[in-house]
Chain A
């Protein structure tokens, strides 16, 4: 992935003092501490040239580049805020361009709540350094000391009023310099735009029917394709008589390669009809490959695993007297994107362009190039928003599907839209997990000893590598599914947040990494943190009860992290949490806390749940959250994300489990995979932000998932007097527990 700047672009953009974009095509992930020289912050470490991030045109127009993709978290707006702040330009004067393998830096995946932390930080520092360069250039031209100049509204201004616009100042390759390790950042006390709830730049189009998603793209001559996916993993296409399909109105082509089968038509509805006809004509040979859905605890703990002790603490003087054990389970769960995945691809003169909502344009591009057996530079992936993905859904696969079909129809843009059932059955799921906890309390009711075991698959099977994508797996000469690898700590995958933030004198945390993946899995929002935090925080409340202590006090007793303590205290206070409180009849209170990934945003949630004793139906009534995400860029955006996380996690926790028989996934639509609807929406969700001006941005998109789950589970236990540990906490499970 090394190469010079794109020459075509240089020709297009040369002249007039416009900056030429170029970037260092180094590895996607920097090795921490590998270089002797201190690296610039965030993604500048891997893409250090300033003009990879900021372009200023001769007319003063400013473009900000980010290698991250807008997933609906609103960070396109946040990045615009950051750049506007550091560059001293009006917010509306900037344009943000997101992930495009021809235009932006390679920032890997937009995942793990790292966008603001890495890309936002890079933009912040790049913008600050660009501003300094502009001031230095102005100082040179005006023959004035740089300190006497100031910047405002896109110009450098001298004390005597002389003014040089940024467009005038930019000359040649002035910004094609590597970033310094340190920048002169604005002081938070002077912030005009960062820290404000600037309205999102993408919402106006979305509420007026503007083109906003890849699904809305219409290219000249575009045709519509539909995939006929196998009915189950490993199914083989034994025969397919396409003669009837070929006679259908609008028919363009059938693409078949091994078990990859697709049909193309002129109009979308024609493609759907053709898909149905083709599906009826296709005969498959299936085999049972799936485990017992109701037996996941046994299945997961008996598959071969690579066991690693990832944390150990020892203090023989701390001795426990009362010991408790508990096992928690999580089923496979689906991303359930409202808009099934979609991509458009076009092959023009050997160059393949794919418009896709993948979270990683670079890795996906690499996978597609490998699959098509073409050089990397012949493939360009451009991110266009899809519906919320919440992790690795069908986006990468459909991009590969589109590329395969587009190759069969050179020059013609091909749009592939997955059907609802295909998204539900073929997306990589959030992996099933088992955790086993054991702890003992000493005479003072403190935890003396803590043991945590987690059994899990990998939580990332994203491309790079063609073998990660269905089209490549299903073709006649298939690519093998790459061997799964755990995501390294401290971020972790299945072991994300397995190491508790609390301080225990004795502790042991073991990660049982299971390579075998009978069900297709990959990353889903919060990864292992959802279940690990659910387990830890459920168990902490169970231990608090055993010790006869209040949930909140008990946690504080074991927590040294100052910011964590503040977040806990804030949530408790705003909720009205009282020691010795008793919830009204049929209701319960629950509390939970975590620091996402042990290095990202802190989140504490107190919740009130009502449980109908006759039916077992549980509903979140009220949730109060406190979050510390360092310097807040857009408060409303942050609140939106945490609110959403709470509601989404509540849906996972109370309702969701992928279902399957021994051969097929059977949860294939909203009938069979219900998610939360308005009948169960809470009365109130409050999110309180603890802003930390000047402190590094902390990733917040996933910080609410784990605490929300445990908070709800603890509230259900409080309401019913029965502790449930197997997700999801369905109505039937709750009713059976009450009746028992």
Chain B
């Protein structure tokens, strides 16, 4: 058994230490946002945040995460109380099939947490790892800019308690 802190809560995980975080989140903790896209670290659909930084959960085994804090999309907000990034993506309708979006949002969130006023170039550079096949890129960029604006004008309330298991 390993203890893993996810979205502010400690969880007892019954999984082998070499289990990638992606499967811990999805199969043990029943969280949906982080997705299996390739399992190879090539597409970013599995992106979550660990200790404030964006991480590809499909190539991050459980044993690396001792004492670290994991944040998933569920930990940022809920439908009733969305985080700025969730509001922004909804307002911009920045999704077609939506499969890549959770990963995009987490990578963008990590960027905004360390650089609240990114340039368009910086956002593009940051999201280079994340693939979108539907071609929603323009909206994703607009949504990240919008999220930066929302975070800037409103009081930041990262909801670590809400929505998670």
Contacts and interface: CB of A to CB of B under 8 A. Distances in A.
B97 interface: yes
Interface stretch (B29-37, B49-57, B111-119, B148-156): B29-37
Nearest to A651: B135
B11 interface: no
B98 A203 contact: yes
Interface string A642-666: 0111111001000000000000000
Contact of B133 (A211, A216, A272, A648): A648
A670 B43 contact: yes
A640 interface: yes
A338 B99 contact: yes
A641 B98 CA distance: 13
Contacts of A678: 123-125, 127-128, 130, 137
B132 interface: yes
B105 A207 contact: yes
A247 to B, nearest CB: 15
A420 B127 CA distance: 20
A339 B37 contact: yes
B32 A216 contact: yes
Contact of A419 (B30, B39, B45, B124): B39
A167 B119 CA distance: 54
Interface residues of A, number: 63
B124 A210 contact: no
B96 interface: yes
B4 interface: no
Interface stretch (A68-76, A425-433, A469-477): A68-76
A191 interface: no
Interface residues of B, number: 57
Contact of A207 (B42, B102, B127, B138): B102
Interface string A394-415: 0000000000000000000000
B86 A340 contact: no
A212 B135 CA distance: 20
Contacts of B89: 203, 207
A677 interface: yes
Contacts of B16: 249, 269
Interface string A263-295: 000011100100000000000000000000000
Given A208-B78, A209-B163, A644-B96, A390 B133 contact: yes
Nearest to A419: B39
Interface in A210-235: 210-213, 215-216, 218, 224
Contacts of A385: 97
A271 B88 CA distance: 37
| Dominant secondary structure at the B interface | loop
B135 A647 contact: yes
Contact of A339 (B15, B36, B42): B36
A664 to B, nearest CB: 18
Contacts of A203: 89-90, 93, 95, 98
Contacts of A207: 73, 82, 86, 89-90, 95, 98, 101-102, 105
B26 interface: yes
Nearest to A682: B138
A338 B79 contact: no
Contacts of B161: none
B70 interface: no
Given A205-B79, A268-B27, A387 B90 contact: no
A203 to B, nearest CB: 5
Interface string B67-82: 0000011100111001
B93 A636 contact: yes
A636 B136 CA distance: 13
Interface in A524-539: none
B135 A643 contact: yes
B96 A73 contact: yes
B96 to A, nearest CB: 5
B63 interface: no
Nearest to B86: A207
A339 B35 contact: yes
Given A207-B105, A249-B16, A645-B135, 18 more contacts: A72-B96, A74-B96, A203-B95, A207-B73, A207-B89, A207-B95, A207-B98, A209-B31, A269-B15, A338-B43, A338-B99, A641-B96, A644-B136, A647-B135, A648-B133, A648-B135, A678-B124, A678-B137
27 contacts: A206-B98, A207-B73, A207-B89, A208-B86, A209-B31, A209-B33, A209-B72, A215-B36, A269-B15, A337-B99, A338-B97, A339-B99, A340-B38, A387-B97, A420-B37, A420-B39, A640-B136, A640-B139, A644-B135, A644-B136, A648-B133, A670-B38, A671-B42, A675-B131, A675-B133, A678-B128, A685-B138
Interface of A: 71-74, 197, 199-200, 202-213, 215-216, 218, 224, 249, 267-269, 272, 336-340, 385-388, 390, 417, 419-420, 636, 640-641, 643-648, 651, 669-671, 675-679, 681-682, 684-685
Interface of B: 15-16, 19-20, 23, 26-27, 30-33, 35-40, 42-43, 45, 72-74, 77-79, 82, 86, 89-90, 93, 95-102, 105, 123-125, 127-128, 130-139, 141, 163
The 7 closest A-B pairs by CB, nearest first: A72-B97, A647-B135, A644-B135, A387-B99, A388-B97, A209-B33, A206-B98
